[in-house]
Amino acid sequence: MFELYTEQAIMSLALAGDEARARRYNFLGTEMLLMGLLLLGKGVAWQVLDEAGVTSESVGGAIADLVGERNDEVEPEIPFTAAATGAIELAWYEAYFQAELAYIGTEHLLLGLDRDHYLARRILADLAPDLQIRESVYRLLKQPVIPHSLDIDESPHTIKCRYCNANIRNGAQFCLPCGADL
DSSP state of 81: P
Percent of the chain exceeding pLDDT 70 equals 92
Pairing state of beta strands 167-169 and 158-160? Answer: antiparallel
Highest mean pLDDT: which of 31-40, 102-111, 139-148?
A: 31-40
At residue 172, φ and ψ (nearest 5 deg) are -65, 150
pTM for the whole structure: 0.81
pLDDT for position 57:
97
Are the CB atoms for 149 and 157 separated by under 8 Å? no
Are the CB atoms for 48 and 137 separated by under 8 Å? yes
State mean pLDDT over 34-41.
Answer: 98
Tell me which residue of 36, 43, 55, 56 sits closest to 105, measured CA to CA. Answer: 43
Highest mean pLDDT: which of 28-42, 89-103, 115-129?
A: 28-42
Give all domains of the chain, ordered by start, each with its CATH number: 7-149 (1.10.1780.10), 150-182 (no CATH)
State mean pLDDT over 15-36.
Answer: 95
- Which of 27 and 169 is assigned the larger pLDDT? 27
Q: What is the mean pLDDT of the chain?
A: 87
State mean pLDDT over 132-160.
Answer: 77
pLDDT for position 3:
80
Percent of the chain exceeding pLDDT 90 equals 50
Interior/surface letters 71-88, b for 16+ CB within 10 angstroms, e for the rest: eeebeeebebbebbbbbb
pLDDT for position 149:
56
Cα–Cα distance between 15 and 38 in angstroms, integer? 9
Helical H segments across 23-81, by residue range: 30-40, 44-51, 56-66
* Band of residue 178 on the pLDDT scale cut at 50, 70, 90: low
Inter-axis angle of helices 82-93 and 30-40, to 10 degrees? 60
State mean pLDDT over 73-84.
Answer: 89
Judge whether residue 150 has pLDDT over 80. Answer: no
pLDDT for position 179:
65
Cα–Cα distance between 164 and 178 in angstroms, integer? 7
